[in-house]
A and B are shown apart, each in its own frame.
Chain A
Amino acid sequence: MIEFEHVTYTYPGASGPALSDVTLSIAEGEFVLVAGPSGAGKSTLLRCINGLVPHFSGGVVSGRIRVAGNDPLALGPQSLSRVVGFVFQDPEAQFVLDRVEDEIAFALENAALSPSEMRVRVEEVLNLLDLAPLRNRTLQTLSGGEKQRVAIAAALAFRPRVLVLDEPTSQLDPQSAEDVLNALTRLNVDQGLTVVLAEHRLERVLPHVDRLVYLSREPLRGEGMRVLSGTPREVLRQVDLAPQLVVLGKALGWEPLPLTVKEGRAFANGMASTAPDTSVRPSRSRVPGEALLSIDRLSFAYNGSSALAGVSLTVHKGELVVLMGRNGSGKTTLLKCIVGILRPDRGEVKLAGESLLGKETAEIGQQVGYLPQDPDDLLFADSVNEELGVTLRYHNLLANPPIPPGELLQRLGLSDVATAYPRDLSVGQRQRVGLGAVTVTRPRLLMLDEPTRGLDYSAKQALVRLLREWQAEGVGVLLVTHDVELAAQAADRVVILSQGEIVADDTPEVLTVSPLFAPQVARLFPGRGWLVVEDALRGLGKA
């Protein structure tokens, strides 16, 4: 169905190719996951399939591509739209109209299909993606997962033979992501649709895919090869970037390598019964230090609709608290109330005993570093160095910075790009520049809102290491995330919000009993209290 032969592509003005000599073959009806570290060329590869690269992006391409017998390099994305449906990372960024049915029909209207034919096709995709009850809803009233399913439906309206998706679940909570992936599996199994999907969170997608294509920035196996393609087991055996279950399987020599918790449980059940250490993991939760952030019965409503209802929470010095919950549960609202962007209706917020209510956001910002979901909202200076200088200038600290910007950049791993234009950097680097911009005042509390979107496993590890360093210096951290594996790895305490109320505030072990937020290791060894690979290895006496 899809053939790449020695494809090399270089973006305009780029110093090196984004894809180098890629040869790849995908059969009809396969469900293929494209994985690899940030900047390895996953999105570029996907865009080659429908001709967006090079027709939309420009640049130089060589080699040969065939998609269902068509040449996307010659025909371009508009012609290929009948063969390849394309879904982007952010569903809202691709909507043209404002209602579900209208959005799905938009491309069909422009292709001048007859109204009766359009009705048939729209009904088809509405039913395929369980969207029929939402057909008359406005898009802005839908949840993230529903929006992404509408985007998939719109891409399927032409009855394409291939569906390509670029990180479609990166902004979704675990349940919404599962809904989207189940819909894709149904399309693949029932309709024989070829699905090609790029994703960083492999643990979410691996149970659904037939094949894994791994792209690397560096040559693999010393053979100059930058693409590995095969069954997920074959590929994951050869690469380091893998979900916790696979890492554990490799460490314990499980064969065949398990890809799902169900597969892993067959090995785990036998091992756990003979394990030397049957006690629960030593709790990572520390003895609470001095209270840093104290929130008491905080309530907030958007136009009369309650978003937070009597939330009470404490973050201690040097403690990392992970805040979890489904989309719309009130996590971001809580962070905004803390930094004074939103004024709570009731309740109290104190930092080191001093009330933050009524204070200006700009004043609070010196003590509380807040990294918003999209770090690009912070970035406008000409260089990374200058971004840090801007924050210092706002707080009149330029002459006497609490932490020398050069030292902070080194800590953030940004010394090499100190003079680079921030928006030219990778997602992970931009996120670290944003982090630098809000921490250069050496805040006592750091709040991060979904900081791992678009980050690969190694970038997440680097972030966790950085947060641990700050914790050791007494900085309190409040981390909002949907990433259960990150939460399991980093949290000293986990708080779960639902409909504006705290439903759990406990040690990270609370994740082991959560059906929605349990990490893979916890699901593999229920009742043992293990959260990450290290816990399991230690518990099994294999550390």
Chain B
Amino acid sequence: MLDARVWLVWVVTALVASSVARNPLYAVLLLLITVIVGAACRAEGDRTGGRPSVLSPLRFAALAIPLSGLFNALSVHFGDTVLFRLPGNWPFIGGPVTLEAFTYGAQNGIALSAIFAAFMAFNLVTPVRDLVGIAPRAFHETGVVISIALTFIPQTVESLTRIRHAQAVRGHRLQGLRDWPPIVLPLLISGLEQSMGLAEAMVARGYGAVSDQRQSARMSAGIALSLLVVLTGWLTLLFSTRWRVAGLVLMGVGAGLMLALLWSAGRSVPHTSYRPRRWTVRDTLGVAGCGLALAAASLRAYPGHSTLYYMPYPRLTLPPFAPLVGLGLLGLLAPAILAGRRAPFAPPLDGEHAEV
């Protein structure tokens, strides 16, 4: 499997590319890429303990694209190709409904679906443990909190369903907002009880035994101070033309101080990893693929870059497509291509642990 950091780079690249590419052809390409990667890595996710998707990306797209197109078509009344007209005295939706407005909305829906598919794939292949590992050591506790929150989400959904059913059995009908308290109150109380139970279990297992409260307080004070220095520099830069250099220096000093504090705090966090993962050739290839896609989406000085942008208004035309840009975006397929191919130094799989 790929390193969690590669997946983080992949999901950020997919997010940037989907946000930048305002051309429906590229947006569709990105949607297909993210769906293919998710499908190709499903087996890997099942094996490594990733979290399965609550909603299929294709089903999400089937809902999001027409709904987004319809909403835009009803709320934006620009464009030359009028499909039909709604009475002008109808508030908000009254007026011409155009193909251009529908296309623009659908285009947003495709981008949204691609982002959703990317997050679902990321969610599928990264176990909670690896997410904790991604966090810098200084933020280890924050990482643990986030990982617990992630495992709490499905539990909360389960509790919600259970409580809804229990209340329905005693005659509760969910018809309006005022019917929610019988669901929300037990959910909140059981969530709090569950949190207390987990906290008790973690304390009983020694969690937090080695944390240094004074160190933590010093760290907070240091971060606040460095932010203050950055803010002072920024304000100096903003309001004074004479002290621009001083402002830049202050911002630099503040940022440097913050990095030094985080580095120092990271070193003082006593934490080791059960299975420290080595960076492999596959990981490098995965990052290279992402780099290619990122370059296609964000670098400006190459032929065909302008085709990333497309506006259907005022009259719908065929969106332009540059093969070079398309090829670059295909770099995001790297995880799907690499899925299932075991690297020479990949971590052991089932049954391969050394005898102790």
Contact = CB atoms under 8 A, between A and B. Distances in A.
Interface of A: 50, 52, 55-56, 77-79, 81-82, 84, 86, 88, 90, 92-99, 101-102, 105-115, 118-120, 122-124, 135-136, 138, 154-155, 158, 336, 339, 341, 360-362, 364-366, 368, 370, 372, 374, 376-380, 390-391, 394-395, 423, 437-438, 441
The 7 closest A-B pairs by CB, nearest first: A394-B171, A81-B206, A94-B201, A78-B209, A105-B274, A377-B166, A112-B270
B96 to A, nearest CB: 44
Contacts of B47: 136
Contact of B189 (A101, A395, A423): A423
B157 interface: no
Contact of B206 (A107, A361, A364, A379): A107
Interface in B100-130: 127-129
B324 interface: no
A506 B59 CA distance: 47
A120 B207 CA distance: 20
B271 A98 contact: no
B173 A394 contact: yes
B186 A94 contact: no
Contacts of A390: 170, 182
Interface in B159-216: 159, 162-163, 165-173, 181-182, 185-186, 189-190, 194, 197-210
Interface of A is mostly: helix
Given A96-B147, A96-B202, A380-B181, A372 B207 contact: no
Nearest to B199: A56
Nearest to B129: A102
Please indicate which of the listed interface residues B48, B129, B204, B210 has the most CB atoms of chain A within 10 Å of its own CB. Answer: B204
B276 interface: yes
B164 to A, nearest CB: 9
Contact of A360 (B173, B189, B353): B173
Please indicate which of the listed interface residues B190, B349, B353 has the most CB atoms of chain A within 10 Å of its own CB. Answer: B353
Nearest to B133: A109
Interface of B is mostly: helix
Given A77-B204, A93-B198, A362-B171, A380 B162 contact: no
30 contacts: A78-B203, A79-B206, A81-B204, A88-B200, A93-B197, A94-B202, A97-B132, A99-B49, A108-B272, A110-B209, A112-B270, A112-B271, A119-B274, A123-B353, A124-B356, A341-B168, A360-B168, A360-B173, A361-B165, A362-B168, A370-B169, A376-B186, A377-B162, A379-B186, A390-B170, A394-B170, A394-B171, A394-B172, A394-B173, A438-B169
Contacts of A84: 204
Contact of B169 (A88, A113, A158, A341): A341
Given A135-B350, A136-B349, 17 more contacts: A79-B206, A93-B198, A96-B144, A96-B147, A98-B151, A110-B206, A111-B210, A115-B272, A119-B354, A122-B274, A136-B350, A155-B205, A372-B165, A372-B166, A374-B166, A378-B170, A390-B170
Nearest to B205: A107
Nearest to B274: A105
A95 B151 contact: yes
B129 A97 contact: yes
A110 B350 CA distance: 25
Interface size class of B (residues with CB under 8 A): 35 or more
B185 A380 contact: yes
Nearest to B200: A56
Interface string B200-237: 11111111111000000000000000000000000000
A95 B197 CA distance: 10
Interface string B131-171: 01000000000001001100100010001001101111111
B300 interface: no
B275 interface: yes
Contacts of B349: 136
A99 B200 CA distance: 20
A395 B171 CA distance: 6
B129 to A, nearest CB: 4
A376 B169 contact: no
A339 B169 contact: yes
Nearest to B201: A94
B273 interface: yes
Contact of B205 (A81, A98, A99, A438): A81
Contacts of B200: 52, 56, 88
Interface of B: 47-49, 51, 127-129, 132, 144, 147-148, 151, 155, 159, 162-163, 165-173, 181-182, 185-186, 189-190, 194, 197-210, 270-276, 349-350, 353-354, 356
A482 B139 CA distance: 45
A302 B186 CA distance: 26
Contacts of B51: 98
A355 to B, nearest CB: 18
A112 B186 contact: no
A284 to B, nearest CB: 29
A437 B169 CA distance: 10
A94 B51 CA distance: 19
A377 B49 contact: no
A356 to B, nearest CB: 13
B194 A82 contact: no
B272 A378 contact: no
B270 A118 contact: no
B255 to A, nearest CB: 29
A118 to B, nearest CB: 5
A102 B166 contact: no
A7 to B, nearest CB: 19
A115 B274 contact: yes
B170 A88 contact: no
B206 A377 contact: no
A109 B168 contact: no
A78 B208 contact: yes
Nearest to A104: B274
B259 to A, nearest CB: 23
A337 to B, nearest CB: 12
Contacts of B129: 97-99, 102
Contacts of B173: 360, 362, 394
A167 to B, nearest CB: 13
B350 A374 contact: no
Contacts of B155: 92
Nearest to B150: A98
A366 B171 contact: yes
Contacts of B190: 376-377
B169 A365 contact: yes
Nearest to B208: A78
Contacts of B273: 109, 115
Nearest to A94: B201
Please indicate which of the listed interface residues A86, A102, A158 has the most CB atoms of chain B within 10 Å of its own CB. Answer: A102
A88 B275 contact: no
Nearest to A363: B171
A380 B204 contact: no
Contacts of B270: 111-112
A77 B201 CA distance: 10
Please indicate which of the listed interface residues B169, B190, B199, B210 has the most CB atoms of chain A within 10 Å of its own CB. Answer: B169
Nearest to B161: A341
A136 B352 CA distance: 11
A160 to B, nearest CB: 10
B194 A115 contact: no
Contact of A391 (B159, B165, B171, B206): B171
